Amino acid sequence: MLEQLDHIIASLARFTPEVWLMAAFVALISWDLVTTEVNEEGRGGFFHFLTFLVFIILGLFVYHQWQTQSPGPLFNQMLVLDGKALFFKALITFSALIAVLHSWVMKRRWSGEFFSILVGMVFGLFLLSMATNLLMVYVSLEVVSISSYILTAFRGDRKSSEGGMKYVLFGSVASGLMLYGMSLLYGLTTTLDFTNPAFGRILVNVDPLVSASALILAMSGLLFKISAVPFQIWNPDVYEAADTPVVSFFSVAPKAVAFFGINAFVQCITAEFSARAGRYLVGNHYHW
C-alpha cells in the first residue's frame, strides 16, 4: 500500500498539464461568478484572452514534458506517458487554441462557462490519450462526451438544443454498449489493463465470436467519436446545430484521440496473433 501511495505521489510530478487544466477549470468558473456586473461584450473578450493564455501555458507544459520526461506508467498503470501521448497532447492543445481564436474572430460573446467546459473537454482528451486501463478509457471518454453535449447545445436556441439532445441520446447508447463490452472483456481476461500481455493471450484462446463481439462493443464509444458506421447518425444534426468554432474543434481533437485509442486497442490484440504466427512458422521450419 505504501509503495502504491508513493507511486501515485511521484506520478503527480508528471501530471503537471492535467493539474494546470483542473486549476484553470475552477478559476474560469469562479471568475465568471464574480464578474457578472461587467457588460457581456467585455466579459466575452476577456474570457477569450484568458482561455487563450491558459492553452498557451498548457502548450509550454507539454513541450517541457516532451523535452524532459521519460516514458513510463502513471497512477499504478492507469495511464502511460510516452511520446505518442505527448504528440496527441500537443495536437489537442493546438486545436483548442485554434478554436478559441476562431471564436474570437467570429466575435462570439460566450460566458465563462463555455470556456471552462472547453478546458474540461481538453482535460478529458488528455486523459484519453494516456489511458491504458478500460475503466480510465470509459471515464475520460465520458468527460469528453458530456462536455461535447453541453457545447453543442450551448447557443441555447431551438436548433442547438435539438442537436444537443440527439447527441445525448445517441451518445448514451454508445456509452452503454461500450461499458457492456468492457465488462465482458474484464470477465474474460480478469484484467482492465489492455496493455497487459495476458489480455491479448486470453482473448486469442477464447471463441472468436465471443472475443470479437466483446471487442466491438468495448470500442463502440470510440467508434461513435470517429463517426464510424453504424455510429455516424449523430454527425449531421450535431455539426449543423453546434456553433462553427465548436464544430471545428469536434472535427479534429476528439477524432484524432479516438483513432489513437482504437489503434492502441487493436495493436494489443494483434501483437498476440503475430507472436503466435511467428511461433507457428518457426515450429514448422518456415524462416524468413
pLDDT digits (tens, 9 = 90+) for 218-234: 888 888 888 888 888 88
More confident residue, 20 or 75: 20
Residue with cell 495536437: 91
Measured in degrees and rounded to the nearest 5, phi and psi for residue 80 equal: -135, 125
Q: Is the pLDDT at 275 greater than 60, yes or no? A: no
Cα separation, 91 vs 31, in Å, equals 27
- Buried-exposed string 119-155: b where 16+ CB fall within 10 A, e elsewhere: bbbbbbbbbbbbbbbbebbbbbbbbbbbbbbbbbbbb
pLDDT digits (tens, 9 = 90+) for 87-105: 999 999 999 999 999 988 8
How many Cα atoms are found within 13 Å in the side-chain-facing hemisphere of 219?
24
In the chain, where the domains are located:
1-130, 157-288
Please report the pLDDT score of residue 279 as a whole number: 47
Q: Which range (69-73, 81-85, 186-190, 247-251) has the least confidence?
A: 69-73
Please report the pLDDT score of residue 23 as a whole number: 94
Q: All 3 cell numbers of residue 60?
A: 509550454
- Confidence band (pLDDT; 50, 70, 90) for 287? very low
Please report the pLDDT score of residue 126 as a whole number: 95
Please report the pLDDT score of residue 202 as a whole number: 84
pLDDT digits (tens, 9 = 90+) for 172-188: 999 999 999 999 999 98
Task: Give residues with Cβ within 8 angstroms of 14, minimum separation 6.
Answer: 65, 69, 72, 74, 81
Of 204, 172, 167, give the one whose Cα is nearest residue 188: 204
- Confidence band (pLDDT; 50, 70, 90) for 147? very high
- Confidence band (pLDDT; 50, 70, 90) for 58? very high
Contact in structure between 112 and 45 (CB atoms under 8 Å): no
SS3 sequence, the chain? CHHHHHHHHHHHCCCHHHHHHHHHHHHHHHHHHHCCCCCHHHHHHHHHHHHHHHHHHHHHHHHHHHHHCCCEEECCCCEEECHHHHHHHHHHHHHHHHHHHHHHHCCCCCCHHHHHHHHHHHHHHHHHHHECEHHHHHHHHHHHHHHHHHHHCCCCCHHHHHHHHHHHHHHHHHHHHHHHHHHHHHHHHCCCECCCHHHHHHHHHCCHHHHHHHHHHHCHHHHHHCCCCCCCCHHHHHHHHCCHHHHHHHCCHHHHHHHHHHHHHHHHHHHHHHHHHHHHHHHCCCCC
Helix-helix angle 112-130:40-68, to 10 degrees: 20
CA distances from 20 to 24, 57, 71, 157, 286 (A): 6, 9, 20, 33, 54
pLDDT digits (tens, 9 = 90+) for 193-209: 888 888 888 888 888 88
Of 265, 260, 238, give the one whose Cα is nearest residue 249: 238
Please report the pLDDT score of residue 90 as a whole number: 95
